[in-house]
């Protein structure tokens, strides 16, 4: 099979879908790997690393899309890449189509065989390609959020603060681990009581759990850092926090909505970039970066590539 690895062009996206080690495994299995020159530089992988692994380096993004049977990338194609999409092309990436209806329409019109990473489930219903990025995003959401509570960055100047996390999945549990480790009192909201019980068994103090929305308004108005971590695979994130709830937060409080790439679970959030990550609304700092793991691209790339490799080997085997 001919796999294509383009360079990510989303603003400040430093990840790449496959490491040279993964490329080498695929080449040894008899596949052709086409890699855009410079694709791995943001993650610390040189063109020479890919050449040594057996990849063919291509000078243009267009070539990768034209010659590959399956394009494997990290983030969804950007508008400038839409022209490269064509009938019969396979596309394997994080697509977040529920939040980007225009892209969904274009993929249908161009008859692209698109497979979103975030919808792949294993036999136990887990999300093996989303999970490693969710864990990284969860940890970073707490670190970034607490950092923005600094007075010099526009926050209220408290540390570590009171933290509320919406969702007890991969993102939420990892955010809890970091926030709790920093000394925060953390409240976790989730409708799944089993997930909440599991968290309670791990943390004996400075943790409260909530499974109904009745008390959320009161909790959020006393929150210093609010982290959105709600996920419904393949669907738009449900709206959990209203505009009024945000208006009732103290000035200098911080919102980090990791669910923003699926539309967000907080009414006042909108997508931002790592170039301009925050905006202020009703006196509350909002962090809406849609590619948080790109803050640590080497770690994120290695985790994603490791998770992807078994699927690509199977696809290639089935193709033959």
Q: In degrees, to the nearest 5, what angle opens at C-alpha 169 toward C-alphas 222 and 232?
A: 100
Q: Residue 66 has which token pair?
A: 């034209």
Active site annotation includes 257: no
Dist CA 16 CA 86 (whole Å): 22
Structure tokens at 12: 């400040």
- Secondary structure of residue 90 in the 3-state scheme: strand
Question: Which of 96, 170, 180, 286 is the catalytic position?
Answer: 96
What is the torsion angle, in degrees rounded to the nearest 10, for the CA atoms of residue 295, residue 297, residue 302 and residue 304?
Answer: 70
Alpha carbon distance, N-terminus to C-terminus of the chain:
8
Q: Judge whether 261 counts as a catalytic residue.
A: yes
Catalytic residue among 190, 257, 261, 286: 261
Pairwise CA distance, residues 287 & 241, whole Å: 15
Q: Nearest 5 degrees, angle CA 135-CA 304-CA 79?
A: 100
Dist CA 213 CA 190 (whole Å): 9
Cα(205)–Cα(186) distance, rounded to whole angstroms? 9
Strand order in the sheet with 2-5: 56-58, 32-36, 2-5, 70-72, 90-93, 113-116
Q: Is 28 helix (H, G, I), strand (E, B) or coil?
A: helix
Burial of 210 (0-12, 13-18, 19+ CB in 10 A): middle
* Burial (Cβ within 10 Å: 0-12, 13-18, ≥19) of residue 269: buried
Residues tagged active-site: 96, 261
């Amino acid at each position: 099979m001919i796999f294509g690895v383009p360079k990510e062009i989303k603003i400040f996206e430093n990840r790449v879908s496959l490491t040279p080690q993964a490329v080498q495994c695929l080449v040894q299995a008899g596949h052709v790997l086409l890699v855009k020159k410079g694709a791995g530089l943001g993650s610390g992988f040189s063109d020479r690393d890919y050449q040594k692994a057996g990849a063919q380096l291509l000078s243009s993004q267009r070539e990768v899309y034209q010659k590959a049977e399956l394009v494997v990338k990290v983030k969804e194609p950007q508008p400038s890449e839409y022209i490269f999409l064509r009938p019969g092309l396979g596309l394997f990436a994080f697509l977040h189509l529920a939040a980007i209806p225009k892209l969904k329409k274009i993929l249908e019109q161009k008859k692209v065989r698109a497979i979103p990473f975030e919808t792949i489930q294993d036999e136990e219903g887990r999300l093996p390609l989303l999970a490693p990025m969710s864990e990284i995003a969860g940890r970073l959401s707490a670190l970034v959020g607490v950092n923005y509570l600094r007075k010099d960055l526009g926050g209220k100047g408290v540390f570590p603060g009171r933290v509320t996390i919406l969702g007890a999945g991969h993102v939420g549990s990892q955010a809890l681990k970091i926030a709790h480790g920093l000394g925060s009192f953390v409240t976790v909201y989730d409708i799944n009581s089993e997930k909440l019980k599991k968290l309670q068994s791990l943390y004996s103090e400075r943790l409260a759990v909530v499974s109904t929305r009745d008390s959320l308004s009161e909790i959020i108005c006393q929150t210093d850092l609010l982290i959105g971590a709600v996920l419904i695979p393949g669907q738009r994130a449900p709206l959990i926090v209203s505009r009024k709830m945000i208006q009732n937060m103290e000035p200098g409080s911080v919102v980090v909505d990791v669910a923003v790439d699926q539309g967000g679970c907080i009414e006042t959030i909108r997508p931002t970039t790592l170039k301009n990550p925050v905006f202020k609304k009703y006196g509350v700092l909002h962090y809406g970066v849609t590619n948080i793991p790109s803050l640590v691209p080497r770690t994120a790339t290695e985790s994603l590539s490791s998770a992807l490799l078994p699927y690509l080997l199977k696809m290639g085997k089935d193709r033959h």
